[in-house]
Chains A and B, each alone.
Chain A
């Protein structure tokens, strides 16, 4: 007799909790250790930001370069494409050659976007 298989959701929920505990337990232990054996001695230098030993100038919370944004848009196009590709791939075993060609045309349309971006010089990291 084998025990009943637990449902996937139960296992994943338990694993989520277990993994969280796996990370939190040593953090709690380290906190306890610090509490009893190494009292905190904060200081302006110690809690300053570490940038190669020089005093930090200006804030790090600044605006992004737009270059990253263009890559993010390209990524979004192809990430959404894979969402369409996955059901196609699962059904691929039963598809005729016509279905395959239709999917290739779809990919070609997106590849055109990549070629356009390439020609525009978006992909050149400056």
Chain B
């Protein structure tokens, strides 16, 4: 029964292809199968996007002690629909000075790669749109194309704030891409494969109560945290949302966008967040595997989306809590803390394999990473005079 429920979507797809093949020639089988997977991917993640926009506004509302959207439909559930209709009917204003062609292409250059990146994420057992041998490399390759879109948008608008936002975005994204990839390399070292499906399979199984997730090792925990911080920066999420700081450069690279082009930027950014969170889940949190042995009867895709929603909730929480960084803090954090720490994490992962199993390697790797964390962290704050704060009140 559990097995059947787990594979229900896979079976449904096979049945549907077989039924459709009664009406079209057999040569179409591959195309039909591919199209069904793609349609499911697009619909599922577009729906998740609609849900997330609502959750984000509700969550931020609660954090800021207000209700959030609650007028459209029950509990404001129809708010995304209203937003969609509004975006469709808004006038599309393009500044006369802008580079019209590049201005038009930029949102598409954002939306297409993020959907391509989603294709390699296994959302359940046997549920992946395309299982590439070099899936991880493909993910990073298409993910890097989003930087191009940001710069196209900022440059083509011919607006100084847009350009500032775009330059900040490029500087930030390339700085955080290095720790993002380096922290993922540790997982590749242990799994011995670039295939995302294989990486999840390595993490299936339990020793006692504990799952074999990579996050439950010293190098995995450090890698996961580094990856999560770099992911927030790659997705331009708070506290790394300098490129689109509303209060300083209005909205950064998409000031001059209106109507549905703006909505496409919004969509692309959220889907990008899902993709990179999904990759964090795949690499470190065991993908679709269950966290405890006795809940393995719950279907695999449920676990994947539960983990994804938890990570999204975490990002919303962070956005409602942390203030925005300053540009110099942002860059020195990337180059003087994240990058050296992710290099040391590579060393820790290597030692983890060569040291004998048991408590020694746990202690050794943890100590190495803790020492690096403290040492590098000190170098960031050493020149600051953090003394007791004194207040002067008006008399």
The answer on a CB contact under 8 Å between A75 and B175 is yes
- Segment of B88-96, B222-230, B298-306, B309-317 engaged in the interface with chain A: B88-96
* A-B contacts, CB under 8 A, total: 214
The answer on a CB contact under 8 Å between A61 and B185 is no
Q: What residues on B are CB-neighbors of A24 within 8 Å?
A: 108
The answer on a CB contact under 8 Å between B328 and A124 is yes
Contacts A51-B160, A89-B189 given; does A18 touch B132 at CB 8 Å:
no
Interface residues of A in 21-46 (CB under 8 A from B): 22-24, 26-27, 29-31, 33-34, 37-38, 40, 42, 44, 46
B31 lies within 8 A of chain A by Cβ: yes
Interface size class of B (residues with CB under 8 A): 35 or more
The answer on a CB contact under 8 Å between A64 and B108 is no
B331 lies within 8 A of chain A by Cβ: yes
Contacts A92-B353, A123-B336, A125-B327 given; does A49 touch B174 at CB 8 Å:
no
The answer on a CB contact under 8 Å between A38 and B91 is yes
Q: What residues on A are CB-neighbors of B193 within 8 Å?
A: 90
Contacts A22-B42, A24-B108 given; does A10 touch B96 at CB 8 Å:
no
B282 lies within 8 A of chain A by Cβ: no
Whose C-beta in chain B lies nearest to the C-beta of A114? Answer: B339
Q: Provide a sorted-by-A list of 7 A–B residue pairs whose CB atoms are within 8 angstroms.
A: A15-B130, A22-B111, A38-B89, A46-B93, A71-B171, A104-B347, A111-B340
What residues make up the interface of A, taking CB atoms closer than 8 Å to B? 1-8, 10-12, 14-16, 18-20, 22-24, 26-27, 29-31, 33-34, 37-38, 40, 42, 44, 46-52, 56, 58-62, 64-65, 68, 71-72, 74-75, 78-79, 82, 85-86, 89-94, 97, 100, 103-104, 107, 111, 114, 118, 123-126
